[in-house]
């Protein structure tokens, strides 16, 4: 077997955050997702910045029990264009 190249040691690679409790991290994530208002506010902020957002909405087809929620991708740049068009229409 051939040996790999040795590192030059010119760059520092972080070992990441050490000592975080996974249970606490999971609990915070669950609380954030359960609190729909904070999540929606963050999604709207991202859209206003032109970032792409994935919205999770209830499935309108109630007979489809396998997919209770569906994800819809919203293009941030397209959203900004639409908002600019609605503002110009409303002002005239």
* Full domain range(s) for residue 71: 23-91
Domain count of the fold of the chain: 1
Is residue 13 domain-resident? no
Distance in angstroms (rounded) separating the CA atoms of residues 50 and 52: 7
Is residue 72 domain-resident? yes
Is residue 3 domain-resident? no
Is residue 30 domain-resident? yes
Is residue 2 domain-resident? no
Is residue 4 domain-resident? no
Contact 51, 79 (CB under 8 A): no
Phi then psi for residue 25, to 5 deg, are -60, -45
Is residue 54 domain-resident? yes
Stronger pLDDT, 38 or 87, i.e. the higher one: 38
Distance in angstroms (rounded) separating the CA atoms of residues 48 and 77: 9
What local confidence, expressed as pLDDT, does residue 80 receive?
Answer: 84
Is residue 1 domain-resident? no
Stronger pLDDT, 91 or 40, i.e. the higher one: 40
């Amino acid at each position: 077997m051939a040996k790999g190249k040795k590192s030059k040691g010119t760059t520092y690679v972080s070992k990441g955050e050490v000592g975080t409790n996974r249970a606490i991290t999971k609990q915070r994530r669950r609380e954030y997702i359960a609190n729909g208002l904070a999540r929606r506010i963050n999604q709207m902020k991202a859209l206003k910045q032109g970032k792409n957002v994935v919205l999770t909405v209830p499935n309108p087809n109630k007979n489809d029990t396998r997919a209770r929620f569906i994800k819809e991708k919203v293009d941030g740049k397209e959203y900004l264009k639409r908002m600019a068009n609605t503002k110009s229409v409303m002002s005239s």
